[in-house]
Amino acid sequence: MLHGMQSLDDVALAFQKTCRRFTREHIEPFAHEWEEAELFPRELYGQAAAAGILAAGFPEDCGGTGKSTMLPLLALEAMIWGGSTGVVAGVSSHGIALPPIVNLGTAEQKQRWVAPVLRGEHIAALGITEPGTGSDVAGVRTRAVRDGDTYVINGAKMFITSGCRADFVTVLTRTGDDPHGGLTFFVVERGTPGFSVSRALKKTGWRASDTAELAFQDVRVPVGNRIGDEGSGFIALMQNFQNERLALAFMGHATAEVALHDALAYARERIAFGKPIGKFQAIRHKLAEMATQVQAARAFNYSVALRCEAGDVDVSHVSMAKNFSARVANEVCYEAVQILGGAGYMRESRVERLSRDARLLPIGGGTTEIMNELIARWGLGL
């Protein structure tokens, strides 16, 4: 069942074991309770940091374990077995919030904002999407205007993971009129006057993660909160998207694998008409198709991630990985619920939760339609 793992080195395999142990001890026993409460305790960040999960893949000068594409992906893949994508998304929101600071920030900014998050002391969120724009990033309207040694920020951000309790948000703003060249990142810290959470949003799935709408009203931040030069935001964001999409791809194949695991176990045990339901051709063929989809998605994701690790980032392949995995996760979860019958529709069942969680995968981090645009443009030259 573990195709692709033969490509991992000893460090990665050891890390994978650590992540699995962490999931068994710190996520799995509590996931249902946290999902029902629509939140997980802040202590989990400290526990994930202690296990080396938060620092995995970040450069050493920021307090990380050394640059790696693969290690954070392995952590996500392992944590999905805890049965709540919301927990995974919440505990790993730093994975999208920190890279702009790592890639563009000064040494002082990295020590001030990145290192405490990797130690599990602070929570970071990324603010790109707005009430009026998501896919069309060039439509960002939140504006930062320079005023002496400060910038004044006005606008709003929407659907921000960890937004309610983040200690800071890495916010994409407009500092110039050029659609792409006028975008710049800033760090806005909690407690800054004018910065507030407008709403905690209720969701179909990912319930244990907090998702916020944020407001910025004459928020004044020092020039030192600007990340990189004015206008450097768009390219940094495009780099960030590749990691985020690979992360969602790994979450997708892992989701499908967990759903397959639970459906298979049920098909072996559940008796109908005098035999286990897995003996009916209609069910065993479903399981055979599901297993094929899981293998194909995982093998492709591993191959794309290992190429990215080697410095060969192919935008169209990353987009294909994200789309294919998102589809596999949704199809496999759908069939897993079907195989569990009524039990699969109950809130305490892991496949019920994962089937709701999976619906986000074709939407977040760039929709299926936007991925197909990228594949057509960069992969097919259309």
Ligand X SMILES: Cc1cc2nc3c(=O)[nH]c(=O)nc-3n(C[C@H](O)[C@H](O)[C@H](O)COP(=O)(O)OP(=O)(O)OC[C@H]3O[C@@H](n4cnc5c(N)ncnc54)[C@H](O)[C@@H]3O)c2cc1C
Please identify every residue annotated as catalytic: 244
116 or 134: CB nearest ligand X: 134
155 or 278: CB nearest ligand X: 155
Residue nearest to ligand X (CB): 134
**Residues 129-168 within binding reach of ligand X (CB under 6 A):** 129, 134-135, 159-161
289 or 369: CB nearest ligand X: 369
Residues that bind ligand X (rule: CB under 6 A) add up to a total of: 22
CB of 241 to ligand X, least distance (A): 10
Interaction between residue 370 and ligand X (CB under 6 A)? yes
Interaction between residue 241 and ligand X (CB under 6 A)? no
Contact (CB, 8 A) for 48 and 93: no
CB of 86 to ligand X, least distance (A): 8
Interaction between residue 121 and ligand X (CB under 6 A)? no
Burial label, 32 (beta-carbon count in 10 A; 0-12, 13-18, 19+): middle
Interaction between residue 90 and ligand X (CB under 6 A)? no
CB of 137 to ligand X, least distance (A): 9
**Residues 192-211 within binding reach of ligand X (CB under 6 A):** 203, 206, 211
CB of 379 to ligand X, least distance (A): 16
Please give the residue ranges that form the binding site for ligand X (CB under 6 A). Answer: 125-129, 134-135, 159-161, 203, 206, 211, 360, 363-367, 369-370, 373
